[in-house]
Amino acid sequence: MGTPAFSVVLVNYKTPEITRICLELLREPAQRLGFPVWVVDNDSADASTEYLRSLDWIRLIERKPGAGEPGFMNHGLALDLVLERADTDYLFLLHTDTFIHDPVIFEQMLAFCARDAKVVGVGCLDQIYRGQFRIYWRIVTRFLKHYARRLKLALGLKSRPPKPWMEQYVKSFCSLWNIRFIRQQGWTFAMDGMTPSYAIQDRARAAGYKIALIPARKMFRHLDHIEAGTVAAIGGYGDQHRRTRKYLALLDKYRETPDGA
């Protein structure tokens, strides 16, 4: 088998159960298709670290974060360790709370790059699939709120600063990057003090390159993503918080049927 087109990377921090589910779903396609799976452990020092050390089919990096590093910077610097080491042209970023039950999504996302050499990254603007009506309604309400705030400020009235009404960045829970190009540019995931990959997206667009968008309705046919699942896993929300409830419901689904069917 020749060199695979892509590698997969995920960053673990104290999420033993969802990390195990994520990797169990990746194991068969990784071995069948031959793509490397990198895992960076950010000094979890818990059961998840021990679990990762027991796996002989992943490429594990154990990292010691610097004192006072913000969480998003921890994640970006961990990704950069794999950016330096991976010997493939493309790299899929996954979160440990992303459960891929149909690996055809890898081929579908790679196809965007095959069709257009100007594509640097591929991803989705939505972290969960809300249904088409709710997606459109969210855009409309954000649009109205954005321009209402602009109008208030123009009239000298008190208002919060307007937020962009359209999502600007693809999310990294499942995104694909042309790391051969990124390395040539000297870019990294932990760059410009921004959420990992956001600075790459800004710079790529400014240079005339493209970030391809895959619709949520298509993306979520092939995977489940627990929005902020890593936060819920370490008790970052209350027991009755909607994200905690969704996190527990999806865990129950995969405990019962490991393939998510």
Give kind and range of the element (H or E) at residue 76. helix 71-85
Could you state, in order of their start, the residue ranges of all structural domains in the chain?
6-126+169-225, 127-166
- pLDDT by residue (tens digit) across 176-215? 999 999 999 999 999 999 999 999 999 999 999 999 999 9
With the C-alpha atoms ordered 131, 136, 142, 145, is the resulting torsion angle positive or negative? negative
pLDDT at 257: 56
Fold (CATH) for 6-126+169-225: Spore Coat Polysaccharide Biosynthesis Protein SpsA; Chain A (3.90.550)
Q: Which of 114-128, 185-199, 214-228 has the lowest mean pLDDT?
A: 214-228
User: Is residue 117 predicted with pLDDT exceeding 90?
Assistant: yes
Choice between 72 and 32, residue whose per-residue pLDDT is larger:
32
pLDDT band at 256 (very low <50, low <70, confident <90, very high): low
Question: Among positive and negative, which fits the CA dihedral 16, 22, 25, 26?
Answer: negative
pTM of the model: 0.81
E-state strands within 162-221: 174-178, 210-213
Q: Which three-class secondary structure state does DSSP give residue 118?
A: coil
**Confidence band (pLDDT; 50, 70, 90) for 226?**
confident
Q: Residue 27 in 3-state DSSP?
A: helix
Q: Counting every residue, how long is the chain?
A: 261
List pLDDT tens digits, range 56-114: 999 999 999 776 676 778 999 999 999 999 999 999 999 999 999 999 999 999 999 99
